[in-house]
Amino acid sequence: MSTNGSIDRGYAWVILSVSWLQVVIAGMLYYSTGVIMTAVLEEMEEGVVKTSWVGSTLLGTVMLTGPVTSSLVNLLGCRLSSIIGGILILAGMVSASFANSINMLIASYGVVVGLGMSFMETAAIVITGHYFVKYRPLAAGIQTSGAGWGMLIGAPLVRLLLDTFGLSGMFLILGSVGANSCVCGMLMRPSPFENQRSSTSENILQEEDNTNRRIVSCFFNRFREIIYEFGQILSNVSFLLYAISFATWGFGESAFQIHLPNYVESKGTSQQRSAMLFTAMGISSMIARVLGGFAANDPAIDSLILHMGTVGVAGVVIMVFTLFSDTYLQQVIFSCLYGIYTGGPIALFNPITADLVGVKRLATGYGVKNLFVGLSLLLGPPFAGMVLDASGSYDVSYLCSGAALIVASLLSIPIAALKKTNQIKQHTEADIKMNPVSIEDDKDETSAKLEHLLTSRLDSVGEKSADTA
């Protein structure tokens, strides 16, 4: 069935629905790591720094494997990639339920589940970008609001499962939740871009006679395309700055978010109420993501400026939180404010990336961004743990987290300048190509005027010399 008539309408909204559900699942798993780390710390009785590696490995794997999973999404398609992601999440969670050490949890929950989430999330983001053009910012806002729902549901659900079934039972149930990515993948029809690539591959297969040569030719042809796309994106200075900005933001966010339950519990908040902070954060983030999508759809609003302002304010909110975090009401207010100011920028990622690298390279751009962010997410929580051990207080690590978000905001300034310069350059080149004759005529007219002026001056000087004689 042709999907060309489904762009921005029809089955595109089914695609948005299933990709939204996948983002909800990813948000549940992603934002519940802080609650899980508290339970692991209690059950395995390891240090804060070592236990932090479990959550940071999950977050880091999701992002670090981005270039690999984005390439495989391009090669295998979004449908098959979603199914692979669901199977990996189920396998990783089942393995984690039998883990009896931190190292086993790092391998199963951290690496295997993280890889499955990377497949699932990349496929969801990419196929939505393929099916929407006119309403892409709005679709991105609706889709990423799923992470807010995941944040709203995830932490309280995990706390309930831990209290009812224990750590092993909780992992098993979360594995069954993640396996629903397989169902979502079944509903993903290949997009027009995927159909175009499939047609190219089929033509190559029809031109070759030998089976082995056909497979090798098809594989290397696609591999060359992927390498070329990575080269093009890595030479894009604007997008690299945007990826570094995202990575710096991820470092600061992961450093405080995984340790948030422990931090508020040290202030006297119960485990159940600490989990509810993520619910408050999820509600405000969900609203902000939808509003961010609406705002990005307005041509009068610059998405990069919106990204810069909201991330910077979020950094200030984290730093101020260390001064006003003694009561539960203050903690809820902080969670709501942080959700508001970080929900919008997440919704802007898809339209900004499509603007900087193009829709055809959206999957590759997503993978490159994840590579940068993965390193920061991997190092953020252990860094906060080491600062805690050195200073004896979470306040210092939270101040560092807020400073990281402010730096991420400032990195967005040169991106807007470079984008404006490129637009002026493109418009100038377009004018030259469209009006080469008029430009040459202007040059000839200017030369004629100069020649006439020079001749007049020489004649005037000659007349004055004659009168003097």
Residue 399's identity, in one-letter code, is L
Which position has the token pair 């999330």? Answer: 121
Token pair belonging to 437 = 């004759």
Q: How large is the greatest C-alpha to C-alpha distance in the chain, in angstroms? A: 118
Least confident segment among 21-25, 282-286, 289-293, 463-467? 463-467
Alpha carbon of 229 to those of 70, 224, 233, 380: distances in Å?
11, 9, 6, 29
Residue among 126, 139, 141 nearest 229 (CA): 126
Helices (H) and strands (E) in the chain, counts: 20, 0
Over residues 398-456, the pLDDT tens digits come to 888 899 999 999 988 888 777 666 655 555 555 555 555 544 555 555 556 556 655 66
Residue 166's contacts (CB-CB under 8 Å, 6 or more residues apart) are none
Percent of the chain with pLDDT over 70: 81
Residue count (the chain): 469
Over residues 311-324, the pLDDT tens digits come to 899 999 999 988 88
Over residues 202-221, the pLDDT tens digits come to 554 455 445 555 555 655 66
Alpha carbon of 235 to those of 232, 326, 370, 371: distances in Å?
5, 47, 17, 16
**Global confidence as pTM:** 0.66
DSSP 206-272: HH--SHHHHHHHHHHHHHHHHHHHHHHHHT-HHHHHHHHHHHHHHHHHHHHHTTHHHHHHHTT--HH
How far is Cα 362 from Cα 369, in angstroms, rounded to an integer?
10
DSSP 36-98: HHHHHHHHH---HHHHHHHHHHHHHHHHHTHHHHHHHHHHH-HHHHHHHHHHHHHHHHHHHHT
Residue among 354, 361, 282, 284 nearest 135 (CA): 354
